Amino acid sequence: MPILDRFSLKNKVSMVTGGNRGIGRAIVQGLAEAGSAIVIVGRDAEKSAVAVEEIRKLGVDAIALEADMAKRDEIESATQAALKHFGQIDVLVNNAGIGFHANALTLPDEEWERLFSINLEGVWKASQIVGRHMVERKQGSIINIGSISGEIINRPQWHSPYGISKAAVHHLTRSLAAEWASSNVRVNAIAPGYVRTEIASTEYEDYRHYWKDEVPMARYGKPEEIAPIALLLASEASSFVTGSVIVVDGGYTLW
């Protein structure tokens, strides 16, 4: 097969959690441009509807489904609705996530539990629910959006629950990759550095020295710079890649 054809997602269906804005929205755009039908899963129905309209203009089918990734029954219902509409899910991008700065001495349990229910348990539950379908079909690619915060300790801000959740996502990735490799289901992760979105907003301009100026490439990443890596992992172009965590950070973790 010619090499560029191996990146094609024609006749594939991709489900992207948190696909209505930020990195998830850029990934949705990239996968749709490669020919994939799209399922956007998120809580903000209005934003998801706008994204779906834009994606349909590319000539692929797209639907939006409402689900809170912290709730198993909602993930289950969204998966069933996606399968009813498309009959298959080939690619799952576990992108939905939250982050906040936190002092380890004072963080209330409720905040820790809220973050883990989305960033880690949401990824686990969606992988399990969609993974059952993929393992049965003996076909699928799961892409988890981790973070450099799962590899290093960021500075100057403290956000240990976020980093711990992303480190766990990286290990979840390796664990499921090993368990499902014989079923032809690949599981990989992308670990972005600082990418300009609502999570890493301008609110933190005081940290610019550490987040941007000190980075070898001396700039923030753009959501559209994460999308091609997701396409690589979603497509046959990465048919021998599983259990990998690909760092996309402009060199941040080099120093």
Binding site for ligand NDP (CB under 6 A): 17-18, 20-24, 42-44, 47, 68-70, 95-99, 118, 145, 147, 192, 194-195, 197-200
CB of 220 to ligand NDP, least distance (A): 8
CB of 167 to ligand NDP, least distance (A): 12
Residue 59 or 246: the one with the smaller Cβ distance to ligand NDP is 246
Residue in 162, 207, 220, 252 annotated catalytic: 162
Residue 184 or 253: the one with the smaller Cβ distance to ligand NDP is 253
CB of 147 to ligand NDP, least distance (A): 4
CB of 17 to ligand NDP, least distance (A): 6
CB of 248 to ligand NDP, least distance (A): 9
Residue 184 or 220: the one with the smaller Cβ distance to ligand NDP is 220
User: How distant is the alpha carbon of residue 218 from its chain centre?
Assistant: 24
207 catalytic, yes or no?
Answer: no
All residues at 6 or more sequence positions from 125 whose CB lies less than 8 Å from its CB, including other chains: 69, 72, 75
Angle of helix 121-137 relative to helix 109-119, nearest 10 degrees?
20
Residue 18 or 140: the one with the smaller Cβ distance to ligand NDP is 18
Which residues are identified as catalytic? 162
